[in-house]
Structure 1
Amino acid sequence: MSRIEELIRELCPRGVEFQQLGEVARIKAGPNINKRLIADRPGPYPVINSGREPLGHVDHFNVEDDPIGIASRGSVGLVTWTKGRFFRGNLNYSCTVGDPSLLDSRFLYYYLLRSDPEIQALATHQGIPALNAGALKTLRVPIPPLELQREIVRVLDKFTQLEAELEAELEARRAQYEHYRAQLLDEAGTGAASVQLGDLGRIVTGRTPKSSDASAWGVEVDFVTPSDIRNGMKTVTAPGRRLSDAGAASMAKVVIPAGSLLVTCIGADMGKTVINANDCVTNQQINSIIPTKDVVVEYFFHLLTAMRDRLRAQGERAGGTMPLINKTDFSKIEVPVPSLEVQKQVASKLDNFDALVNDISIGLPAELAARRKQYEHYRDRLLTFKELAS
């Protein structure tokens, strides 16, 4: 019997109490922050807002040792752990434990990570997804004995450390690949004509059916959102939600045929590019390119992926707290278009290198994926509790 099983049998054999998150933690968003403020006051403190990566760095902080954050817009429900001093923005909720003798912050963080489906259910998904603080406070969380919480944290921290070591090695390989990719694309683009994205094909911005329209949702047609597109992914094959045939038919103008390019154009995770394996509909955070010219889609996947920082910078110039590239501006972005033969050669070379650092079926990515799957299995198992009968 494991130490955790011993503690459960000893300390809470009949189950554990559950409380609403708002009863055991304070939920509060930071103040407004935008790129202009960041540019005017550069400094060492990261700005944590709606994405995984800092929005920038400023010369002041408003958080110290209050590490749990939950994104309220864009990458809604994203749970982060940021140690030390930083600036929390208005699109990020702090989740501060009220009584450390009752609830361990790290335990709560792990529980929130495994609660993504429940958090998504509390959010609204019309337009830009949003998570209301009042709704978030209703999330039910277990309160096992503190000794049990800390033992679970110890086990999960070990998994997290092993995963981080593999990620660091993989990131080093990806840096090498990105250098090689930039070199190949620069050589291919030298002397090539520049063409606007809108001239490569039809640009389509997605739509989202109403959540209340049960007839629109089903299992027949892929419905792709930015959360379905992971960094390093080339082809999206299994999004989290699907539409019915009737739902897709009601939005026939925004159905994207397989083999198109999908590019996220709103939020901190903007600029991710992927090819859809199946016909799909996307939400409005994605602009799609349905090629009408004879082009090598894989080449433009690699080109747009390499342009992600440029796309993000253009979105940030729109101002406000949410980076955005609308359909019109997206259509006007210029890209070099070499000959079809060069496109094929570059795409073939980059596909091979891309697989070595991103394909989860081979090499180090496969080992990391297996480790992550194992971690998620144990995390969900360790954080599933029988509720104490009242």
Structure 2
Amino acid sequence: MIKPNYIEKLLDEVEVEWKALGEVTLPTSNIKWRETKDTYRYIDLTSVSRETNKIIKTTEISAEDAPSRAKKLVIKNDVIFATTRPTQQRVCLITEEFSGGVASTGYCILRAKTNEVLPKWIYHYIFSSDFKRYLEENQSGSAYPAISDAKVKEFKIPIPSLKVQEEIIRILDSFSDHTAELTAELTVELTALKKQYEYYREKLFTFEEGEVEWKSLGEVANFRRGSFPQPYGKGEWYDGDGAMPFVQVVDVGEDMRLVQNTKNKISKLAQPKSVFVKEGTVIVTLQGSIGRVAITQYDCYVDRTLAIFESFLVNINKKYFAYQLQAKFAIEKDKARGSTIKTITKEEFTKFLIPIPPLTEQERIVSILDKLDALTISITEGLPREIELREKQYEYYRNMLLSFPKEEVED
């Protein structure tokens, strides 16, 4: 952990000059396509991961198949910054692997004058709260906000000595590396736990031949699809006095529960055109994120992209049924139709077969799965919380380390 007094000492009476990015970076050139069929790595706006700030994919292009936006040559230690939706801060420091590649014109290329500023100094400062505020104030457009390269290069950054830059970069890199390591460790732990959960669930759902009766969903339960008046976007269908929670696919969590507050509330006018569902009803998503199961914890109305199980035709534990439904859809959803939005029809899942052991055995299975589920959910929820806390800590120290007095540059 870095002690605040160390930071204060490091920054105490540091001489700093404020310069525009354009003053401390070199001009860059566009590609001049060769006559040969040489290929280049093309870095487009989907190439850079916002999570890791690294290039995750590129395409190979030549002069013959190059997109019109593939123009900007990049070399090692260039900082590339996406000027489309700039507040998302899609940023990357070019490594040796991608040196000599071609970036889309949607990137601003910042090539440091290394006798004045280190490339990583620019890279880290782009994540500062000051720069983010500058982007918010200077981007234009609503549907596709953007900022020009020229405007990016007008932004002024503090330039302390190279020695001070090196020390601050060292501290920020150590924080960044530690955060990445922690995230990787927690992700591995979570993946292992989920595999263990799936293993035990499969073991619990494995029965010897003749040990249980297998029935189709159509033989086990009465069900129907939800509904909603069309068109979806009509304002009078939402909110107002007497509005009720309206459950869509997005409102079904991965813990067999609905979210606390649904994305939309259905108006009193629209309610007769939808399907009312009582608290404690089993529902499952049939489109998009297929196979999310929930036992509703409040009264609500349900969209047509979900199936509602209204009553059971056999002696079955409701939670056991929900677990079986979840397990069955986990297998079958890969066969679902559609490319962008996957869909399973009511007719298709009516034929899904599930095992029906004695009620006492169902209750035993539910008890075990509930305990495993609680443990998995605890770690699943804890992972993003732990990462978020670490990122906030990193952001706090980053802003502290990059804060210098600005009196000298005020107009």
| TM-score interval for Structure 1 and Structure 2 normalised by the shorter chain | 0.5 to 0.7
Contact in 2 for aligned 1:264/1:287 (Cα 8 Å): yes
Runs of 4+ in 1 over 4 A off after TM superposition: 9-13, 63-67, 96-103, 105-110, 139-148, 153-161, 375-383
Q: Counterpart amino acid of 1:228? A: D
User: How far 1:297 moved relative to its partner?
Assistant: 1.8
CA offsets 1:191-230 (integer angstroms, 9 cap, x no match): 3222222331222234366333245225852223333334
Instruction: Answer whether contact 1:263 1:287 (CA < 8 A) is retained.
Output: yes
Pair 1:330–1:139, CA change in 2 (3 A): farther
Q: Deviations over 1:167-205 (max 9, x none)?
A: 211110121111011101113996322222233122223
- Cα displacement string for residues 320-350 of structure 1 (whole angstroms, at most 9, x for unaligned residues): 5543211222223222222222221111111
Is the counterpart of residue 370 in structure 1 residue 390 in structure 2? no
Q: 1:113-149 deviations in whole A, cap 9, x for unaligned?
A: 9xxxxxxxxxxxxxxxxxxxxx99524679695979x
Return the structure number with greater relative CO, CA threshold 8 A, min gap 6.
1
2:185 paired with 1:165? yes
Partner residue of 2:248?
A: 225
Superposition pairs for residues 305-384 of structure 1, below 5 Å? 305-315=326-336, 318=337, 321-358=340-377, 360=378, 364-374=379-389
Per-residue deviation, 1:264: 2.1
Q: Which residue of 2 aligns with 1:138?
A: 144
Cα distance in structure 2, aligned partners of 1:296 and 1:174: 24
Counterpart mapping for 1:105-116 below 5 A: 105=82, 111=88
Alpha-carbon distance, 1:270 to partner:
1.8
Q: CA deviation at 1:103?
A: 5.6
Q: Please state how far the C-alpha of 1:314 moved relative to its aligned partner.
A: 3.2
Contact in 1 for aligned 2:243/2:268 (Cα 8 Å): no
1:356 Cα offset (Å): 0.9
Letter in 2 for 1:370: R
Partner SS, residue 84 of structure 1: coil
**Aligned counterparts, 1:284-323, within 5 A:** 284-293=304-313, 294-315=315-336, 318=337, 321-323=340-342
Alignment of 1:83 with 2:83, yes or no, is no
Normalization by structure 2: what TM-score? 0.54
Seen in structure 2, the aligned counterparts of structure 1 residues 291 and 103 have a Cα distance that, compared at 3 Å, is: farther
- The amino acid that maps onto 1:282 is V
- In structure 2, what is the Cα distance between the partners aligned to 1:340 and 1:354? 20
Q: Secondary structure at the match of 2:277?
A: coil
Match of 2:195 in 1: 175
8 A Cα contact 2:287 2:343, kept in partner: yes
Q: 1:166 deviation in Å?
A: 0.8
Q: How does 1:42-57 map to 2 (within 5 A)?
A: none
**CA apart distance, 1:352:** 0.9
Displacement of 1:68 in angstroms is: 2.7
Deviations 1:349-374 (A, max 9, x none): 1101111111x3xxx34532421443
1:242 alignment partner in structure 2: 264
> Take 1:248 and 1:213, find their aligned partners in 2: how far apart are those partners?
10
Q: In the alignment, residue 374 of structure 1 is paired with which amino acid?
A: L
Q: Scaled by the length of structure 1, what TM-score is found?
A: 0.56
Query: Is residue 259–residue 275 contact of structure 1 (8 Å, CA) maintained in 2?
Result: yes
Larger radius of gyration: 2
Distance 1:97 1:281 in 2: 49
For 2:202, the aligned partner's letter is A
Runs of at least 5 residues in structure 1 that lack an aligned partner in the other structure: 14-62, 71-79, 88-95, 114-134, 384-390
Whichever residue aligns with residue 358 of structure 2, its letter is: S
Amino acid at match of 1:334: L
Paired residue for 2:205? Answer: 185
CA gap of 1:351–1:109, structure 2 versus 1, over 3 A, is farther
**Letter in structure 1 aligned against 2:310:** I
- SS of the residue 1:290 aligns to: strand
**Cα separation, partners in 2 of 1:246 and 1:184, compared to 1, 3 Å:** same
Q: Which residue of 2 aligns with 1:53?
A: none
Q: After TM superposition, give the deviation of residue 81 of structure 1 in Å.
A: 8.6
| Aligned residue in 1 for 2:46 | 68
CA gap of 1:107–1:320, structure 2 versus 1, over 3 A, is: closer
Would the aligned equivalents of 1:205 and 1:327 in 2 still touch at CA under 8 Å?
A: no
Q: Structure 2: which amino acid aligns with 1:243?
A: K
Q: How many residues align?
A: 286
AA aligned opposite 1:290: E
Provide closer, same or farther for how the CA distance between residues 262 and 214 of structure 1 changes in structure 2, counting only shifts above 3 A: same
Partner of 1:203: 224
> In 2, Cα distance between the equivalents of 1:194 and 1:204?
24
CA contact (8 A) 2:212 2:356 kept: yes
SS in structure 2 of the partner of residue 289 of structure 1: strand
Aligned to 2:355, the other structure's residue is in SS state strand
One of 214, 238, 244 as aligned partner of 1:194? 214
The residue matched to 2:367 in structure 1 has which SS? helix
Distance in 2 (CA, whole Å) between partners of 1:138 and 1:314 is: 36
Distance in 1 between residues matched to 2:395 and 2:250, nearest whole Å = 20
Q: CA RMSD in A?
A: 5.0
Partner of 1:198: helix, strand, or coil?
Answer: helix
| Superposed CA offset, 1:203-259 (max 9, x none) | 22343663332452258522233333344x22124144232451562334x222222
Q: Which amino acid is 2:56 matched to?
A: K
Which of 104, 111, 114 is residue 81 of structure 2 equivalent to?
104
Moved more, 290-299 or 179-188: 290-299
Q: What CA distance in whole angstroms lies between the structure 2 residues aligned with 1:180 and 1:226?
A: 27
Contact in 1 for aligned 2:291/2:329 (Cα 8 Å): yes
Q: Equivalents in 2 of 1:198, 1:330: separation in Å? A: 8
Distance 2:310 2:157 in 1: 56
